Structure 1
Amino acid sequence: MRLVLLRHGRTAWNAEERYQGHTDIPLDDVGRSQAAEAARRLAGHHFDLAASSPLVRARATAESVVDGRGLDLVLHEEFMETGGGTWEGLSFTEIRTQWPDDWTTWRSSHLDHGPLGGETPRQSGTRVVTAITRMVGEAESTLGTPETMLVTAHGNCLRAAATLLTGMDAAGMGRLERLRNGAAIVLEGSPQRPGRWRIEAYNA
């Protein structure tokens, strides 16, 4: 099956380079345009399942893509961003100034290096993968194996999920470039073969 992992459009906090995490920040004007562009880009793709983080920036992006498709959008907390702990709401400059060593470690994009007092990417990526596996399993029991699934969520947790799905080592996340707002990771694989998925397109 094909899995499309779509990052939400831009928010004011993205533009200001603030750590958002679980804080519920809406799309800004640029973000709404990016969501509309993602909808146009994905218009020719059929989706059997669509899920999203409940945070408004992801939900609004997902709604742009699924609008008019007659497809139910399922919201799951498991698709929320990596929790930022002490860093939520702080600018990257503030974080780098107050916690220089922790900042450097976090920016290495290692699966086991998370924000101070928050989650690690491994934790957030694991809950994303677990939720995807559960949704696909539920669909298989009633409709058969879905061909394509859309998950709209957040940059850090989606990169972590892609790292886990493809079976890269913990440092492999750092080899994946940061996911742009409104862009997607497209993977091909089987839910029965975790760790064996392949990346078909990145920042697409």
Structure 2
Amino acid sequence: MHTEFKVLWLMRHGQSRGNIDEPTDNHANIPLTELGQAQAEKLAARIDRQPGLIVMSSFLRAQQTAAPLREKYPDVPVEVWPETAEFTYLSPARCHGTNRTERLPWVREYWQRQDPDYHDGAGAESFRDFVQRAEVILRRVRTRPEENIMIFSHGQFINCLIEMAIHPYASVEERMARFRNLPELPNAGLIYLLVPVSDIPSGEAQSR
């Protein structure tokens, strides 16, 4: 049956060791805490509709959060979409072995620049790169045959998708100016995004 919208279920990963200010070495390999594992199990228990597709980012904490839902619906196909990974705007090399508190001055400096084309160093991406990744995902969702897709991702990436749904025609500079003021989805939080099947860049978001 034809539908005008795809339902995108966006789930943020459960609490990770990085969220509790522990030092981390590799942004992609930060695991969940014990609480984060429990949050993932509660999230899976809340979902009473079988998805057409389960998508995970390439980061460990997103994949660990998806594990309970994958066990609940073992027949649902699963794919890893690296484009749904978290925004890496600080160079991984200088962040090695640091915690959130230690990185806070660098974070402030980055956002104070308000330069969507700035690269912090090797392995970092610009805000423009980040937005382009989100655009790739929205185009991919429109072409998928599944009508409801569940994506286990990260707070900033999810916010980027929501920002694009609310302000479909904004420039990248306008998006960056608003971005840090967007409300943060909590760990293991869930929000729905309606993505039009047509190429018209619009959508609606609804939390649950």
Bin for the TM-score computed over the shorter chain: 0.7 to 0.9
**Displacement of 1:175:** 4.2
Task: Give deviations 1:87-135, integer Å, cap 9, x for gaps.
Answer: 45532322234x47515528xxx79387833224442343144135325
- Aligned partner of 2:109: which letter? D
Distance 1:96 1:189 in 2: 34
- Aligned partner of 1:40: which letter? A
Q: 1:164 and 1:150, CA in 2 relative to 1: closer, same or farther beyond 3 A?
A: same
Q: CA RMSD in A?
A: 2.9
Counterparts of 1:7-26 in structure 2 under 5 Å?
7-16=12-21, 22-26=27-31
Structure-2-length-normalised TM-score: 0.77
Q: 1:93 and 1:125, CA in 2 relative to 1: closer, same or farther beyond 3 A?
A: same
Which of 42, 45, 53 is the equivalent residue of 1:37? Answer: 42
Structure-1-length-normalised TM-score: 0.78
Matched, 1:66 2:70: yes
Distance 1:89 1:194 in 2: 43
- Aligned partner of 1:12: which letter? R
Match of 2:3 in 1: none
- Aligned partner of 2:61: which letter? R
Q: Secondary structure at the match of 2:29?
A: coil
Q: Is the 8 A contact 2:142 2:195 kept in 1?
A: no
Q: Secondary structure at the match of 1:189?
A: strand
Distance 2:16 2:8 in 1: 25
Q: Is the 8 A contact 1:21 1:82 kept in 2?
A: no
Q: Is the 8 A contact 1:189 1:196 kept in 2?
A: yes
Match of 1:143 in 2: none
Match of 1:179 in 2: 185
Unaligned runs of 5+ in 2: 1-5
Distance 2:119 2:100 in 1: 11
- Aligned partner of 1:200: which letter? Q
Distance 2:23 2:67 in 1: 24
Distance 1:13 1:51 in 2: 22
Distance 2:190 2:70 in 1: 15
Distance 1:113 1:89 in 2: 26
Large movers: runs of 4+ above 4 Å:
17-21
Unaligned runs of 5+ in 1: 141-145
Matched, 1:197 2:180: no
Q: Secondary structure at the match of 2:37?
A: helix
Distance 2:156 2:115 in 1: 10
Q: Is the 8 A contact 1:50 1:149 kept in 2?
A: yes
Match of 2:132 in 1: 126
Task: Give deviations 1:163-182, integer Å, cap 9, x for gaps.
Answer: 12332541343442012110
Q: Secondary structure at the match of 1:164?
A: helix
Match of 1:79 in 2: 84
